[in-house]
Chains A and B, each alone.
Chain A
Amino acid sequence: MNQPVGAQAEVVLRLRGITKRFGSLTANDAIDLDLHKGEVVALLGENGAGKSTLMSILFGHYVADEGTVEAFGQPLPPGDPAAALARGIGMVHQHFTLADNLTVLDNVMLGTESLWSWRSRRSAGRARLDRLAGAFGLAVRGDARVGDLSVGERQRVEILKALYRDARILILDEPTAVLTPQESASLRATLGRLVAEGLSIIFISHKLDEVLEIGDRVVVLRAGKVAGEVPVADADRPMLAGMMVGRAVEQPQRRQLSPGAVAVGLQGVTVLGEGGRRRLDAVDLDIRAGEIVGLAGVSGNGQSVLSDVLAGLITPDGGHYRLADEDVSRAGTRGLVARGVGRIPEDRQASGVIGDMTIPETLIAEDFRARPFSRFGVIDWRAARDFAARIVSDFDVRTERPDLNARLLSGGNMQKLLLGRALARRPRFVLANQPTRGLDVGAAAYVHQRLLAAREAGAAILLISEDLDEVLRLSDRVAVMFRGRLREADPALGPVTVERLGLMMAGQGFEHAA
C-alpha cells in the first residue's frame, strides 16, 4: 500500500454534492468524493464532522437531501441498503450491527438468501465462511454466539459479513476504536490482503499512525465540508491533526513531579467468578498522590473487574482496598464518591451518561443527594444548572444548549461531561477507564491535559487504556494485567516500551507467579 494509485485506475465510487441536514444542522455540506479501484481512502475528521453520516448515505441508511452516489458507473438508488449491498458495497458500522443472541453464521448469512426460500443452506454457508476466514486470517467459529465473542472477534465477524457477500468496496467506520494493538495490527494485515485482491476501501479512524500506515490518500472533513485531501506520502501527523481541527493540536506534556504519600492501596484483592475461577487474583497495587499509574492488558484479563472494584460496584471476595488508611472495600459506589473518588466509566453511553436526561441532570447523578444540589430531599435545579454551566465552560463541552439531552452530544463531548463530573470535586483518586476511546485527536489531547492537571493538583490516577501510546505518554509507572493478575513493568529492567508491554500482555513475566 501507500503506492499512489494512478488517476487512470477505475473510479468505483463517485459521490457528488452530498448534502445532509438534520434540522438546522448541516452534517454534510456538498461533499464530493471519489474512490478508485484498489485504493484505500482514509477519512478523517473531528467527532461530529460528518464522516459516519456520509457513509450512512452512501450505504442507504440515510437519504441525502442533495447529491448523487454512483457505484461502478451506475447511480445508486437513495435510501436502499439492499441496492448498495447488491452493488458490492460492504459496510462495517461504527457501532456493531450484530445480534448478540444469535450465532456468527446467523449474523453472516442473514439476508444472503431469498427470504422466501424453504430452507437455509447452512452447511454451504458454513463452508464458505470457513474458507473466507482462512483466506483472510479472520479466525472465528461459525457456531459461536456473538454475545460470547470478544470485541476483536466481533469486528472480524463484521468484516466477514461484507466479504461473504463478495464486497468490492469496503467501508470501515472506526474499526479499530475498540481493538487492542494486536487486534488492530492483524486487522491492518487483513486489509492489506483485501486490497491485493482488488477491493477498494474507505477507512475511518482517529488514530493517525494507523491512517498513515494503511491509507493511500487522506480526505479530511471539517464541520461537514471537505477540508482537504492529501496523498499519504505527503502527510504527517501534525499536518493531519491541524487539517482536522483547523489549528495545531498540542500534545500536553507530563511534568516531572515527586509523588506524595500512598493514596490508594490494594492488597491481595481477589474476586471470584463462576465455578471459583479467579477473575482477580491477589492484586497488589499502590498509587501515590500526584502519580499516574497506567494499566494495560488485553481485554478480558481483569481490567474491567478491577475497575468495578475500584469504582465500588463489586465488593472483593478477599483482600483490602484502602484509601489513605481507611479500608473502603465495602464502601460501595456512594461511599467512594463521598470519600473523594472520581470515576470515569469504560462505556460512556451505557454506564456514564443517562442519555435521555439533560446535561444538568446527568451531571448531578453522583451527588444529587448532597448540598448544594438538594436539601431535605428537594432538588435545587438552579444549583444543578449553575454547576452544569460551569462544567460546560470549564471542560469545553460543545453543545448547542446547556439543557440538551446528553444522548445528543458527540462521544467526545459526552466524555468531557463525565470528566467534568469526576474531576469537579477535586478527587483524591481518579479512576479513568478508557477515557479517550473513539475520541478525535483534539478531544483526546484535551482529556489528557485535564488528567495531567489533576495529577499536578495532587490526585492519584489509575489510567486503564488499550492505547499503549497513551499509557506510555501519560503514566509515571505502568502495570499490566494478565489472567486476573497484575504485574508492574519494572523500570529497573530497562525502558518500558510498547514492545515490552505487548510481551507482558501476552503473559511474559507472569509464569512463576503464585
Chain B
Amino acid sequence: MAWLDMLVTASFWVAVLRIGTPLIFGTLGELICERAGVLNLGIEGIMVAGAFSGWLAVYLGAPLGAGILVAMAVGAALGLLHGILTVPLGLSQHVAGIGITLLATSLSYYFYRMVFPTVTEPPRIQPFQPLDLPGLFAQTPMTYLAFLLVALTAYVLYRTPLGLAVRMVGENPAAVEAQGIDVTRLRIGAVMVGSSLMALGGAFLTLSAFNAFYFNMINGRGWICIALVVFASWRPGKALLGAVLFAAFDAFQLRLQQLIGGAVPYQIFLMAPYVLSILALIVMSRRAGVPRALMIPYRKGER
C-alpha cells in the first residue's frame, strides 16, 4: 500500500513535526491560560501579532533570537490586556478574547501597512534554517524549542509550587486566596505567559516556516489550538500528542491528495484533519479534565 509506505518515510514525519510546531506552541499557551481558569479566545489574534512583530523586528535588523523575544513580549502585552479585562474586571472571557483577536489582527495589519505603504510584494527575511541533522531531526531550532517547552510546562505545572498554584487557581480561586496567594496576579501572570507562547506559535510561521508576513496567514490555526486543548484534557503531554496527531492528519492529507487526487474532490482531504479530530475527541474525551473554575470570574470580596 503506497500510503502505508508513506507513513514510514522520514520526510513525512519531518513534515508532521514542522506542521505541528505552531500548534504545539499555541496549544501549550492556551493550556496554561485555561489551567489558570481563563479561556483565551485572543489566541488567533495573538498569533497574528506574534507573527508580525517577530518578523518585523528581524526585518528591521534584529537577530532571529531577538525576533522571538519581541514576539513573546508582544504576546505577553496582549495577554496582560486580556488578563486585566477578564481577571480583576471579570469581563466575559468570550468577548474579551474575540475582541483581542480582532484588535491584535487589525492592529498588526494597520502597522504593517503604515510601515510598508507602497510594497507590492511581501518583504522577506532570512529565516531559521533546519539543522543539518539526519532523519526526524532536520528541524529548525524553534521546533526543538517547542518540544522543550512541553517538557518545561509539564514540569512546572506538576512539580513546582508555582505550577500547583496555577492548577489550583483554575480549580478554585477561593482556595488560592485562602492560602495567601494573590489570585489576580497569578491569573494575569499565567495568561501573559500563555499568550507569549501563542505569539511564539505565530512567530514560528514567519521566522521559521516561512520568511515573510502575510495577511491571514494564521488561517484558523489558533482555533484549532483551542480544540486541541480540550482534546488534550488540559494536559501538556496530551497536548503535544494532539498537535502532532492533527499535524499528521494534515501532512497525510497533503500526500494523499497526490496519491488518489483525481478521483476525490480536494475539499474531502482538507476536511480530514477536522473530521478525524472530532472522532478522536468522541473516542477519548470525557469532560473530566476541565478546570472547574474555567470561565468563572473571581472578584475578591464578592460572593
A84 proximal to B (CB < 8 A): yes
Q: Mark B235-259, 1 if CB is under 8 A from A, else 0.
A: 0000000000000000000000000
CB-based contact A82/B181 at 8 Å:
yes
The CA of A147 and the CA of B139, in the complex, are separated in Å by 44
Interface size class for chain B?
20 to 34
Q: Which residues of A contact B160 (CB under 8 A)?
A: 117-120
Contacts of B301 in A (CB 8 A): 56, 61-63
- A residues less than 8 Å from B162 (CB atoms): 115-117
Q: Which of A90-98, A263-271, A393-401, A436-444 contacts B (4 or more CB under 8 A)?
A: A90-98
Chain-B contact segment, one of A102-110, A297-305, A310-318: A102-110
Pair B171/A99 contact, Cβ less than 8 Å:
yes
Q: Is the CB of A110 within 8 A of B164?
A: yes
For A86, the chain B residues whose CB sits under 8 A away are 180
- Evaluate contact between A115 and B165: CB separation under 8 angstroms: yes
> Are the C-beta atoms of A100 and B161 separated by less than 8 Å?
no
Q: Determine whether the beta carbon of A61 is less than 8 Å from that of B171.
A: no
Known: A99-B292, A110-B164, A119-B160. A81 touches B171 (CB 8 A): no
The secondary-structure label for the interface of chain B is: helix
Partner of B178, one of A91, A112, A114, A115: A91
Q: Mark B165-181, 1 if CB is under 8 A from A, else 0.
A: 10110011011111111
Please indicate the chain A residues that have their CB under 8 angstroms from the CB of B113 in the complex. Answer: none
Whether A85 touches B180, Cβ cut-off 8 Å, given contacts A110-B168, A110-B175, is yes
Chain A residues touching B, majority SS: loop
Verify B165–A111 contact, CB threshold 8 A.
yes
Interface string of A267-297 (1 = CB under 8 A from B): 0000000000000000000000000000000
Given A82-B181, A85-B180, residue A98 in contact with residue B172 (CB < 8 A): yes
A120 to B161, Cβ gap below 8 A? yes
A98 and B175 form a contact (CB under 8 A): yes
A residues near B179, Cβ cutoff 8 Å:
81, 85, 110-112, 161
Contact B172–A110 (Cβ < 8 Å)? no
How close is B172's CB to chain A, nearest CB, in angstroms? Answer: 4
Contacts of A98 in B (CB 8 A): 172, 175
Q: Which residues of A contact B168 (CB under 8 A)?
A: 99, 102, 106-107, 110
- Cα A356 to Cα B171 in complex, Å, equals 22
Q: How far is the CA of A79 from the CA of B21 in the complex (A)?
A: 44
Q: Mark A49-66, 1 if CB is under 8 A from B, else 0.
A: 000000010010111000
Looking at the complex, which one of A61, A85, A102, A111 makes contact with B167 (CB distance below 8 Å)?
Answer: A102
Q: Are B171 and A110 in contact (CB under 8 A)?
A: no
Q: How far is it, in angstroms, between the C-alpha of A449 and the C-alpha of B129 when the chains are bound? A: 81
Closest residue to A90 on the B side, CB-wise?
B178
Q: Are A101 and B181 CB-contacts (below 8 A) given A62-B301, A120-B159? A: no
Whether the pair A97, B172 counts as a contact (CB closer than 8 A) is: yes
Given known A97-B172, A98-B175, A100-B292, contact A119–B181 (CB-CB < 8 A): no
Mask, A194-209, CB within 8 Å of B = 1, is: 0000000000000000
Q: Which residue of A lies closest to B161 (CB)?
A: A113
Residues of B within 8 Å of A97, CB to CB, are 172, 174-175, 177-178
Interface: B300 (CB within 8 A)? yes
Distance between A98 CB and nearest chain B CB, rounded to angstroms: 6
| C-alpha spacing A61/B179, complex, angstroms | 11
CA distance A110 to B167 in the complex (A): 10
Interface string of B281-303 (1 = CB under 8 A from A): 00000000001100000001100
* A110-B181 in contact (CB<8A): yes
Complex: A100 Cα to B174 Cα, angstroms: 12
Residues of B within 8 A of A116 (CB): 162
Bound Cα distance from A178 to B165, whole angstroms: 28
Which of A81, A95, A101, A120 is within 8 Å of B292, CB to CB?
A101
Bound complex: CA A290 to CA B159 (Å)? 60
B183 CB, min distance to chain A CBs, angstroms: 10
A residues in contact with B165, CB < 8 Å: 110-111, 115
CA distance A116 to B161 in the complex (A): 7
What chain B residues lie within 8 Å of A107 (beta carbons)?
A: 168, 175
**Which residues does chain B contribute within 8 Å of A83, judged by CB atoms?**
180
A115 and B171 in contact, given A99-B292, A120-B159, A120-B161 (Cβ under 8 angstroms):
no
| A161 cross-chain contacts in B, Cβ below 8 A | 178-179
Known A-B contacts A63-B301, A101-B292, A120-B160; the reply to A115 vs B181 at CB < 8 A is yes
Interface residues in A73-91 (C-beta closer than 8 Å to B):
79, 81-86, 91
Q: Do residues A61 and B177 form an inter-chain contact, with CB atoms below 8 A?
A: yes
| Nearest CB of A to B178, in Å | 4
CA of A117 to CA of B292 in the docked complex: distance in angstroms? 26
B175 A115 Cβ-Cβ under 8 A: no
A56 to B178, CA, bound (A): 10
Quote the shortest CB–CB distance from B288 to chain A (angstroms).
9
The CA-CA distance from A109 to B168 in the complex, in Å, is 11
- Interface residue from B164, B171, B172, B291 paired with A120 (Cβ < 8 Å): B164
- Chain B contacts of A111 at CB under 8 A? 161, 165, 176, 179-181
- Determine the residue in chain A with the shortest Cβ distance to B169: A99
Q: How far is the CB of B292 from chain A (nearest CB, A)?
A: 7
Q: Write out the residue numbers on chain B whose beta carbons fall within 8 Å of the beta carbon of A99.
A: 167-168, 171-172, 175, 292
CB contacts (< 8 Å) of B161 on chain A: these are 109-115, 117, 120
A-side contacts of B171, CB under 8 Å:
99-102
| CA–CA, A378 and B171, complex, Å | 40
Q: Which residue of A lies closest to B170 (CB)?
A: A99
Chain A residues whose C-beta falls within 8 Å of the C-beta of B291 in the assembled complex: 101
Q: How far is A63 from B301 in the complex, measured between Cα atoms in Å?
A: 8
Residue of A nearest to B156 (CB): A118
CB-CB contacts of B51-88 with A at 8 A, as 1s and 0s? 00000000000000000000000000000000000000
- Chain A nearest Cβ from B174, distance in angstroms: 5
Closest to A110 in B: B179
Q: Give Cα A424 to B157, complex, Å.
A: 52
- Once bound together, how far apart are the Cα atoms of A99 and B180, in whole Å? 15
CA distance A245 to B179 in the complex (A): 34
Complex Cα–Cα for A79 and B301 (A): 9
Cα-based distance from A109 to B174 in the complex (angstroms):
15
User: CA separation between A242 and B252, bound complex, in Å?
Assistant: 78
Chain A, Cβ-Cβ closest to B291:
A101
Give CA–CA (A84, B165) in the complex, Å. Answer: 19
Instruction: Point out the residue from B164, B172, B177 that lies within 8 Å of A81, measured CB to CB.
Output: B177
* A-B pairs with beta carbons under 8 Å apart, 28 shown: A56-B301, A61-B177, A61-B178, A63-B301, A82-B180, A85-B179, A86-B180, A95-B174, A97-B172, A97-B174, A99-B168, A99-B172, A101-B292, A106-B164, A109-B164, A110-B165, A110-B175, A110-B176, A112-B179, A114-B161, A115-B165, A115-B181, A117-B160, A117-B161, A118-B160, A120-B161, A120-B164, A161-B178
The 6 closest A-B pairs by CB, nearest first: A111-B179, A82-B180, A99-B171, A97-B178, A113-B161, A97-B175
Residues on A lying within 8 angstroms of B by beta carbon are 56, 59, 61-63, 79, 81-86, 91, 93, 95, 97-102, 106-107, 109-120, 161
> Which B residues are closer than 8 A to A by beta carbons?
159-162, 164-165, 167-168, 171-172, 174-182, 291-292, 300-301
Additional pairs, 5, CB under 8 Å, beyond known A107-B175, A109-B161: A81-B177, A98-B175, A110-B168, A111-B176, A120-B161
